[in-house]
């Protein structure tokens, strides 16, 4: 009897996995979606929160900063915790911490308590995204990895887009604390589903048990300490550098030097440790390393553009905040529709072709933004944004599959944690750099334009005279008309200076985009060398299909 039943167990498991893949995806997506929404939902409630707890504008930003720093500290340790406790238990623990800290954020009584509870929420949120990605990679069969990553990318894309809109609705109709309380029932549902439907593959569990024994005997406390100090100080520099004048601040300079020293020491430590907390040897694989760098650069460029576009529309084109948000919405809608479709196309079209076409379309969208002016219409901006959304869908779905092609299943959690960290760093560096350059370029352009405003220029005299005549004809007194004309001239100069700054930044985005293109060459894995992810009882035709991709 045992001889008869033993072989049937793996066969039954192999048949059951494809049936449960949708339930697994739904289960792990709930917590991940909440975490990605909470990264942006609080931004629209800062004013109400500041008034409620009596904080200044500068102080209330620490609530967001603490969340981001805590998230970044956890991302690289995805594999470390997955080996020690198992990926399912790690996900459940992080989701439970996220739910509890969400409740505590809603009942926070002071700024320090809110900042602390928000940091706890960031710790819980930090491992949700990479752990979900690892679970999906290990759950879906090899020939359906494109669809799995299409669904995953849709989830992490929808969150930041929906967050501000949902937060605005809650703040307008309820108390700001409900942006945190809403996580409780949804999070409990996610906990129940993950506990019930998510199961780790036996080969991954066996590999983690063996690695955990070695890891427990040689816990890399030094590596974890260096990582946390280095990443915390680096993220602090990126978040607060603009507000404190960058290197004019001794605190920012000290933090940057400390970050460089700690991260350099961390790399040396991880390459020599018996059981490193973070598997940096993954970067020896060209496909993984180039894909991680390409993803970071793309997030650098795209999130910087998303930072610039609302400012451009509101400050120069006169859009309201709602109109600017509506103009950005088509990009999200295109991505929601296209990402599952691209996932289906993954097995039919070469990943290199999809990524190449995606990069080309993003490049067209970025190039069109280089040509914006004060006469640019709403339709032109929306079409450029939609092109970027289409290109992003074609790029990131296959990239999220190809980048892990040569990563063993047991190392998947390490790889997804590092990959997510690289994208987060790309976002943080891009926002910090472009915010600084926006201020600097505007000031430089204003100085250059002001130098052209000399009384000897006849066109300047004619413009002032024409404006003054129009004001006087409208009933404005002569002296007041002169003052108003000069103010209008100064306002026009400032608008032109801002336009020149935006054009320079969009041009910089295009140049950085061009520099990222050579990385595409390292992503291609030839049909003869591309490994098939291990799956239970894979049939020959399934292996052949995976190799063809």
| Positive/negative CA dihedral, 312, 313, 317, 322 | negative
User: What is the token pair recorded at 133?
Assistant: 């990605």
* Whole-prediction pTM: 0.78
pLDDT in tens, 109-121: 888 888 899 899 9
pLDDT in tens, 40-62: 777 767 777 777 777 776 677 78
Q: Which residues contact 141 (CB under 8 A, 6 or more apart)?
A: 17, 18, 21, 535, 538, 542
User: What is the token pair recorded at 199?
Assistant: 């199961």
* Length of the chain (residues): 549
Cα–Cα distance between 357 and 273 in angstroms, integer? 42
What does the pLDDT read at residue 245? 78
What does the pLDDT read at residue 488? 65
pLDDT in tens, 321-370: 667 767 777 888 888 888 888 888 887 888 778 888 888 888 888 888 87
Max intra-chain CA distance, the chain? 107
**H or E stretch at 436:** helix 412-450
Which residues of the chain register pLDDT less than 50? 1-19, 525-549
Tokens 């409990």, located at residue: 188
φ, ψ at 406 (rounded to 5°): -105, 15
Contact assessment for residue 485 and residue 468, using Cβ atoms and an 8 Å cutoff: yes
User: What is the token pair recorded at 282?
Assistant: 């993954």
What does the pLDDT read at residue 449? 67
Give SS3 for 145.
Answer: helix
Cα–Cα distance between 305 and 403 in angstroms, integer? 24
Helices and strands, number each (H, E), in the chain: 23, 0
Q: Which of 150, 168, 180, 142 is nearest to 35 (CA)?
A: 180
User: What is the token pair recorded at 220?
Assistant: 């890399």
Q: Which of 28, 271, 268 is nearest to 132 (CA)?
A: 28
- What is the CA 63 to chain-centroid distance, rounded? 18
Residue 534 falls in which region: left (phi positive, over 0), alpha (psi -120 to 50) or beta:
beta
Give 351's Cβ-side CA count (13 Å radius).
32
**H or E stretch at 492:** helix 478-516
Q: Which of 68, 266, 287, 48 is nearest to 171 (CA)?
A: 48
Give 177's Cβ-side CA count (13 Å radius).
12
User: What is the token pair recorded at 393?
Assistant: 């869908």
């Amino acid at each position: 009897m045992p001889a008869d039943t033993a072989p049937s167990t793996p066969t039954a498991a192999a048949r059951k996995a494809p049936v449960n893949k949708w339930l697994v995806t739904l289960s792990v997506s709930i917590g991940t979606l909440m975490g990605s929404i909470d990264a942006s939902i609080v931004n629209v409630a800062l004013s109400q929160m500041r008034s409620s707890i009596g904080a200044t504008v500068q102080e209330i930003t620490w609530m967001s900063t603490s969340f981001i720093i805590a998230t970044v500290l956890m991302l690289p340790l995805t594999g470390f915790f997955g080996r020690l406790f198992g990926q399912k238990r790690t996900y459940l623990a992080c989701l439970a911490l996220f739910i509890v800290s969400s409740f505590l954020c809603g009942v926070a009584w002071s700024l320090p308590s809110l900042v602390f509870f928000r940091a706890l929420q960031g710790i819980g949120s930090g491992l949700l995204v990479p752990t979900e990605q690892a679970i999906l990679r290990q759950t879906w069969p090899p020939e359906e990895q494109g669809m799995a990553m299409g669904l995953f990318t849709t989830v992490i894309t929808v969150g930041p887009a929906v967050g501000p809109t949902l937060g605005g609705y809650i703040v307008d109709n309820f108390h700001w604390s409900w942006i945190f309380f809403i996580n409780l029932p949804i999070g409990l549902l996610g906990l129940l589903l993950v506990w019930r439907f998510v199961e780790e593959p036996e080969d991954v569990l066996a590999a983690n048990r063996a690695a955990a024994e070695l890891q427990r005997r040689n816990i890399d406390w030094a590596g974890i300490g260096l990582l946390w100090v280095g990443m915390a100080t680096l993220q602090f520099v990126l978040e607060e550098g603009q507000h404190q004048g960058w290197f004019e601040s001794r605190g920012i300079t000290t933090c940057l030097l400390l970050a460089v020293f700690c991260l350099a020491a961390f790399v040396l430590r991880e390459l020599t440790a018996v059981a490193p907390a973070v598997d940096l040897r993954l970067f020896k694989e060209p496909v993984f390393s180039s894909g991680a760098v390409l993803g970071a650069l793309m997030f650098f460029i795209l999130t910087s553009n998303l930072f610039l576009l609302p400012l451009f529309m509101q400050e120069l084109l006169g859009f309201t905040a709602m109109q600017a948000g509506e103009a950005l919405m088509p990009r999200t809608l295109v991505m929601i529709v296209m990402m599952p479709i691209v996932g289906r196309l993954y097995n039919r079209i070469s990943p290199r072709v999809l990524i190449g076409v995606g990069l080309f379309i993003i490049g067209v969208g970025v190039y069109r933004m280089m040509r914006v002016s004060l006469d640019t219409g709403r339709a032109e901006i929306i079409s450029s944004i939609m092109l970027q959304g289409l290109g992003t869908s074609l790029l990131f779905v296959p990239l999220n599959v190809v980048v892990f092609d040569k990563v063993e299943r047991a190392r998947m959690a390490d790889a997804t944690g590092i990959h997510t960290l690289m994208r987060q760093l790309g976002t943080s560096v891009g926002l910090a750099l472009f915010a600084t350059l926006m201020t600097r370029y505007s000031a430089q352009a204003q100085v250059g334009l002001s130098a052209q405003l000399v009384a000897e220029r006849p066109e300047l005299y004619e413009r002032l005279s024409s404006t003054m005549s129009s004001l006087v004809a409208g009933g404005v007194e002569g002296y007041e008309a002169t003052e108003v004309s000069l103010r209008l001239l100064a306002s026009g100069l400032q608008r032109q200076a801002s336009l020149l700054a935006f054009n320079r930044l969009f041009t910089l985005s295009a140049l950085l985009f061009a520099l990222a293109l050579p990385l595409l060459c390292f992503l291609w894995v030839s049909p003869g060398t591309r490994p098939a992810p291990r799956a239970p009882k894979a049939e020959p035709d399934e292996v052949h299909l995976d190799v063809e991709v």
